[in-house]
Amino acid sequence: MIKTDALIIGAGPTGLFTAHQLKIIGLDCQIVDNLDKIGGQCIELYPDKPIYDIPAIPECTGEELTQNLIKQLEPFKIKFHLNERVDEVKKDSNNWEVKTSNGTKFNTPNVIIAGGVGSFEPRKFTLKECEQFENKSIFYSIKNKKIFEGKIVTIFGGGDSALDWAVELSKTSKVNLIHRRDEFRGANATVGKVHELAKSGKINLFTKYQLSGIKGSSNLESVKITHENNEVKTIKTDYILGFFGLIMQLGPIAHWGLNLDKKTIEVDTEKFETNQKGIYAVGDICTYPGKLKLILSGFHEGALAARACFKLARPNEKYRFEFTTSSKTIKNRLGVKSD
Amino acid sequence: MTKITYVEHNGKEHTIDVQNGLTVMEGAVQNDIPGIDADCGGSMACATCHVYVKNDWYDKLDEKSEGEDDMIDQAYEPKKNSRLSCQITVSDKTEGLIVYLPEKQV
């Protein structure tokens, strides 16, 4: 059980700056994120796209913004729990008990949800029958590639994950690669490699086809694919892999007893607290009259939520507002020399 | 103003006057048409404003943006006439456009 003054859910720009604000006022915090890297939407959706409305930064990319925020947090040695999704938030006397998908447990008076549009999850096949084979014969990510050795693997998708795995698995398995159109969106070199392997018969390539059915009882036996022009093919297969990118889902947050408005959480504008004391929501995931979904709004919301956390984390102390330019205490926390 | 018709998956039709220069996505969001999420706000970074364009309209619209098909790969049940509504700009040329909304976006 990890005890902390505040737990932040989401390592996007808002979560990162909220951590900065908590540390500046002397509280400790840890951050959980379901992605395998820091940066949230900025890094997952638009790492190379320019942003023009961060105050005092005329132009930067999602990746640059993330790097700068990480740099700003460096003095504080924040503990990140990546690849973990917060599944449970339960009241425990005065604190919140939080459990992640990996079983990590936290006990904290403050939970700050900086979850953007929810957690990133792989997009799955829409065919209902696929569910019963999930994690047995149908996978959306690969943990152990050994299970595919000598088997027939049918891969769906046209991006880097689909192509990289098609190339890799073609060394030890019989690979079918199926994509809804002729063009692939993967790196040029990998696309070239796939076409080469298709030519030499190491990969069976089917384009303009999509999944339309599966057959099997305890094990998967075959997959049915349908061409744009409605022609149907049945292919024998042992495994199916689907790589259709990530989608964002509110996920377990919907079950924590918070007042929701569509996919957002209602908060007040003084503390950015939800209807549950000690649970705050900041950034894109919160809503209130006049809410703007801008990164700069997330920064403001995080700064205020951090001050609200102080009261619950240090009930016997009085919070004193200080400027970073003049406060010796803050400079000590930042590890910089005071004049 | 240009008339755009959004048809929900359940068949319910909404014909809306959308200001020229806005996108079909913005027309839906500003008029609270259910079924278009537009999570990324129109930066072509998600695929949650996915629509099916009525067949005879598909070829009449301007060509897809670069990268649009890459995102459509990641949409819910993409089809031949799939588009991202954030990449269709409303103009006099789109008067009477009909788009069908998928069963869901995520």
* Radius of gyration over every alpha carbon of chain B, rounded to an integer in angstroms: 12
Secondary structure in 3-state letters for A225-244: EEECCCCEEEEECCEEEECC
Give the SS3 label for residue A305: helix
Interval A109-143: pLDDT, tens: 999 999 998 888 899 999 999 999 999 999 999 98
CB contact under 8 A, B69 and A157: no
Q: What is the pLDDT of residue B60?
A: 95
Whole-angstrom Cα distance, residue B103 to residue B106?
Answer: 9
Task: Using DSSP bridges, classify how beta strands A246-249 and A239-242 pair: parallel, antiparallel or unpaired.
Answer: unpaired
Q: Say what the ipTM of the complex is.
A: 0.86
Interval A19-29: pLDDT, tens: 999 999 999 99
Q: Name the residue ranges covered by the structural domains of chain A.
A: 2-121+247-334, 124-244
Interface contacts A/B by beta carbons within 8 Å = 50
Distance from CA of A70 to the nearest CA of B (A): 23
Burial letters for A265-284: b for 16+ Cβ neighbours within 10 Å, e otherwise? bebeeebbbbebebbbbbbb
State which fold the A2-121+247-334 domain adopts.
Answer: FAD/NAD(P)-binding domain (3.50.50)
Which chain B residue has the Cα nearest residue A293? B41
Q: What is the pLDDT of residue A47?
A: 87
Is residue A243 over pLDDT 90? yes
Residues β-bridged to residue A225: A211, A233
Domain B2-96 CATH (choose: 3.90.1150.10, 3.40.50.720, 3.10.20.30, 3.30.70.260): 3.10.20.30
Tell me the pLDDT of chain A averaged across its residues: 95
DSSP A64-128: HHHHHHHHHHGGG-PEEEET--EEEEEEETTEEEEEETT--EEEESEEEE--TTSEEEE---S-G
The whole-number average pLDDT for the span A74-95 is: 95
**pTM of full prediction above 0.95:** no
Q: Name the residue ranges covered by the structural domains of chain B.
A: 2-96
Whether A100 and A267 have beta carbons less than 8 Å apart is answered as: no
Chain B partners within 8 Å of A177 (Cβ): none
In the chain, the amino acid numbered A30 is Q
Is residue A296 over pLDDT 80? yes
Is residue A278 over pLDDT 80? yes
Contact partners, residue A260, CB within 8 Å, separation at least 6: A250, A254, A266
State which fold the A124-244 domain adopts.
Answer: FAD/NAD(P)-binding domain (3.50.50)
Task: Determine contact: A231 vs chain B, CB below 8 A.
Answer: no
Whether B37 and B64 have beta carbons less than 8 Å apart is answered as: no
Chain A partners within 8 Å of B73 (Cβ): 157-159, 179-181, 185, 244-245
Whole-angstrom Cα distance, residue A145 to residue A238?
Answer: 14
